[in-house]
Structure 1
Amino acid sequence: MKASSFSFEFFPPRTQEGEEKLKRTLKNLSVFNPEFFSVTFGAGGSTKDKTIGVVQSIKDDGYNAVPHISCITSTKDEVMDLITSYKNKGINRLVALRGDNPSGIAGYGDFHHASDLVEFIRTNTGDYFHLDVAAYPEFHPESESSIDDLKNFKTKVDAGANSAITQFFFNVDSYFKFIEECERLNISIPIVPGIMPIYNIKQLSRFAQTCGAEIPRWLKYKLESYGDDIESLREFGIDFISELCETLQQFGVESFHFYTLNECGIVSKVLKNISD
């Protein structure tokens, strides 16, 4: 079996303590020789300056830093300034997203869809940036149908996306079905599964509701059965996520993107399990 490659997602910390924790997490996960570390971009670009700072810090430490960039409330001038700044810093890979409106703000800027952002970056920077986009094996919660969702994904690919990272899922069949549907549409870019470690049921349920991911009924009941025994819940979660990744590996998946939530302990245990 070919060795797997990994990438890890961080969010910009809000406190000095959070910054120190992220540095430790970065150091601990670096032993797995990741392809890159990505940094999220808050709703409506609310963490833009912090994102830039974390990206610069990761790059200064000698790692491949990949900023997220969302466009839903941005103007073309704002996006142009941002991608020019990243280009000047030697950043050559971006995760291009539509993003969510920040709370209390409605409406769009100059971009309505992630495909608009991808097309704009391609038009203005050519092939300089490797562009990742989001994919939804269980379909975007705002999509009217699975067919519309796939068409929207193809629009992003046709606009110039190089690869995609999926939203998290717990049913591997949903991932493989999505890959099959993409192949029928002649979509051939790499589609990397996004992996969400299990930290606690309330947090996981909130994430799933927001992005449209399904927590299978049996899994939800199993997690709820642990009650306040977080340690046992997480040990179960490590085994479950390890098995999910191993199943993907068995069917030829070679790259994984972990939503770390700026934590390294659980992710490290999963990686050790699937790398042995």
Structure 2
Amino acid sequence: MTKISKIYYTKSAPVLSFEIFPPKKETGIELLYRTLDEVNPQKLGVDYISVTYGAGGLGDNTKTCNLAQYIQTHLGVTALHHLTGVNQTPESLRDILAKVEQANIENILALRGDLGDKTYVNVNYPYAKDLIYGIKQLRDFNVGAAIYPEGYTGNPITGISIAGTKEKIASGADFLISQFFFDNDMYYNMQERLKNNYIKVPVSAGVMPIISKTQIERVTHMIGSPLPTELVNIVHKYEDNSEDLKKAGIEYALKQIQELLDHGVDGIHLYAMNQPSVLKSMLPIISQEIKTKHFFENNISDHG
């Protein structure tokens, strides 16, 4: 398939991608395959699909690799294989990369991984930059890295780390995907800081719809900052009606995306959470927004 950085540099419209994870149960895998087939991401112009890695880096990457291979072989879309540094050794990294390469997967998202459990260690690859460097030393993969518009839990600094971002790029990161955020101004501030520091690698804006009450505490912990007032009001208004909350959460995320596209982002990365309702309701609209905006801008430039 295609190296993802090449998609960013050659596509004239914003890049469209989304994230899924390998379900633990066989029934979940079958449902996900069926959903992906029904959505038909290639027809919608999805440029790549990212597949997460097991929590804490434990176990092998078979499920991630199999799902990524299915995406490329059956859906005809480029896959992005996640990989974490937690509990990784040079030997295990070498084995995983060989398996990924054998599956004809060319793109890896290199992450530090979750350190929430005491059994998780990062002796060999304590930071994402170390994992990125390790991958680049062993194989010629296109490597993506994460960027955090609002900072992240455990980091006392609010907003992105310019130094950390530069280290990831110096280690070999070819493109960046942002953590999800709910306040677009945080992303615009990040864009400005990247520009002012001459960081020019492509960045996709990560968006996750709030679709349930149980999701709220988890995501606010992950981003390390409170939800915007508008979104808090939505949650309070529909907290006793799960379907209305899901609908309102999706509408909020779509509004976010429309404004991000108007602001000229390099790409949109949807955190789909394996939810059929998210994929089926949001992807066609995002795809159409990108096509319409691209068509309009092309006509404006053509007629000078």
**1:120 matches 2:134:** yes
In structure 1, what is the equivalent of residue 238 of structure 2?
Answer: 226
Percent of aligned pairs sharing the same letter = 30
Does the 8 Å CA contact 2:148/2:159 hold for their aligned counterparts? no
Question: 1 CA distance for matches of 2:28 and 2:182?
Answer: 29
- Per-residue deviation at 1:147? 7.8
The answer for the alignment partner of 1:272 in structure 2 is 284
- The answer for the alignment partner of 2:72 in structure 1 is 59
The one of 213, 216, 220 aligned to 1:201 = 213
Return the letter of the residue paired with 1:21.
L
For 1:53, give the aligned amino acid: N
Using the alignment, how far apart are the partners of 1:273 and 1:106 within structure 2? Answer: 40
Cα distance 1:211–1:228, how it changes in 2: closer, same or farther (>3 A)? same
Q: How does 1:116-195 map to 2 (within 5 A)?
A: 116-125=130-139, 128-146=140-158, 149-195=161-207
Query: What TM-score results when the alignment is normalised by the length of structure 2?
Result: 0.83
| Cα distance, 1:245 vs structure 2 | 0.6
Q: Hey, what's the Cα distance between the residues in 2 that align with 1:189 and 1:148? A: 15
Q: Distance in 1 between matches of 2:18 and 2:85?
A: 22
Structure 1 residues without counterparts, runs of 5 or longer: none
Contact 1:44/1:74 (8 A) holds in 2:
no
1:211 shift after superposition? 3.7
Q: Summarize the Cα distance change of 1:3–1:184 in structure 2 as closer, same or farther, 3 Å threshold.
A: closer
> Retained in 1: the 8 A contact 2:149–2:159?
no
CA deviation map 1:195-244 (0-9, x unaligned): 10221122132122134254113412321221221111122122211111
CA contact (8 A) 2:58 2:87 kept: no
1:70/1:99 contact within 8 Å kept: yes
Deviations, residues 129-179 of structure 1 (Å, cap 9, x unaligned): 111100000012222324882211211011111111101111111001011
For 2:5, the equivalent position in structure 1 comes to none
Q: How many residues align?
A: 273
What is the TM-score of this pair, normalised by structure 1? Answer: 0.91
Distance 1:25 1:135 in 2: 29
Q: CA-atom RMSD, angstroms?
A: 2.0
> Contact 1:170 / 1:214 at 8 angstroms: preserved in 2?
no
Of residues 3, 6, 12 in structure 1, which corresponds to 2:16? 6
Which blocks of at least 5 consecutive residues in structure 2 are unaligned?
A: 1-11, 290-304
1:116 CA drift (Å): 0.4
